[in-house]
Structure 1
């Protein structure tokens, strides 16, 4: 009737016999209602809401402008949005505001996890407590995710913002999800369904053919949706990068597409790199997955990410549910990125990819009041992200 397992990439899979799918859909709907209600009740105690928040004396790391340090500042957050950033002026603070003393502390934007699978709502709470204020779900049950997005969008409880990529796959023994993309009718119907459900991206998985990939890209463009995801099995990267793949997940997909050289690796792969730059292709490398599972090729993956970053390929930090975003960022520093570059990969760069840089991703007037208050300067010691005493998520303040 039902089986769960892990595939060769470590992704969890659930297999349901076709004749039981209607019952599975009903069970999924009922369990979703229970899970969301339980999550709402337990999350109400995580952080308190305030109409006005004043943060005084903090040093802002400006990730949008070269990491400039704005010292001894005041930030006013009114109804969840940043209303003022500048010199301390107590006359601007509304009565009954929550005042936070951030003297000698360091402020960065809330982090993004650009590769998650929120199979259970509690994953959002775990992410929030690690400093993540925005999550991109990269493949899930449609009905569950729609209801979860609706709950998150109400902003009545402290929970990260939620973006979603709708999963499409072909037919094979490795097929994932129940939204197929095997013919034009399926592709048109399912891309439209994701669009109407508020998804902003389509994620292609491993069994999509070239022909159907082209149809997916064409349909996604109709709705101004991006196409992201895996390299389909049996193909090389060049075609997909040149024909509409906006962002690739998992750096291991490059292994069979790289011309390995003991010398200048970038020079040996100039054609590929130039194509990625020209097409504005982003990379979601998920280094945590390889590092934490003991993959023997992790050193090579680190070398590739360094090459891409040095060449100007935008990197976005994602965990694929392994470890934390802070750990992923620290891996980027370990392989040679600067702390600022690493922090940008989880703040302003993902906000730009998602078309949301005008709303979040940096600490600026008019943007969402989503930030972390750190004891130490992460530009000096990226390990400062391992200890986050205060998280501000709009009108909510979470003290750890």
Structure 2
């Protein structure tokens, strides 16, 4: 009986992999046709990408790409797509899709920049900046869901952090606003933990309640208080700080080592969270609570405390990410200024398979799409900026729909735990 069950399971897994390979192959072939017919560039035209700026210590020559690159990219996409139909499966499927997406992005940039020049370094720098709230939102989701608590309230926590950063930053200065934003985010994390762990409220509903409460409260204060007392909404902004020597490295230096505290903080938090979750006893216990809380409880792990701790930490991370919108960007709060970045952060978490580094990688993709629409507006491309602005949300739908492959969440994710 067990042998039959094993064979059936193996057949289902093989069938799922074959189906995913066919879907990936169809996507790659479709992208090949897109590049060939819609992103066609004359062979005589060239796209110039600037890798350095005049004030950089080390100046690199411009990267000049001929228009024939798009034809080559279309051929490579077709080859990868056909290969998926014939020999797809395993890790090659994800690798082929990743290579295909990179080729399409490069072909699109060549098409948009043909006959013009474009600062590639500037766009990469903007990508890193715009990925920060998404990466921190994704990290907050990882910390919560690794202990089996679905955190829909990330959007509200980001918004609360942005609001607190503007208000308290105006009264106490930048650092005071940042600390208070982190504390307020942690407070909402603790509230969420109390609702879902102690009172066993439905986790989705609890998150929606927090989102609506924060949205309503901040909208009211913005329209009734900030409109009259503008000095309460005029916070100090954290400026960029270049790390000596590292900040002078071409391309990589401006992207990673000439940023503000939020970029550095996001990278450090991702590194610390990765080490904690996968290389410490506390992280092992947290993952055990997310996979099999009853077994963890049997071994002496306090399931309730572990969930409280990690959801509260997730709220603090989200509060830090929310402060980016005000203290790291514009210095003032506007109604609903997070614009759904918390939900995109959840998609980045799923795309990254509940891993901090994976969530950061996905956030960079979303951040790239976000910065692309602003940069291309300067090139007067025929695509309306509104359509380019849709790119991060379209990517979110694709990720959540599972079209790039299904990711397995922690086994106990979303389930309340009742101690016997």
When normalised by structure 2's length, the TM-score is 0.26
Q: TM-score, normalised by structure 1?
A: 0.27
- Which protein is bigger by CA-based radius of gyration? 2
Higher strand share: 1
Higher-helix-fraction structure:
2
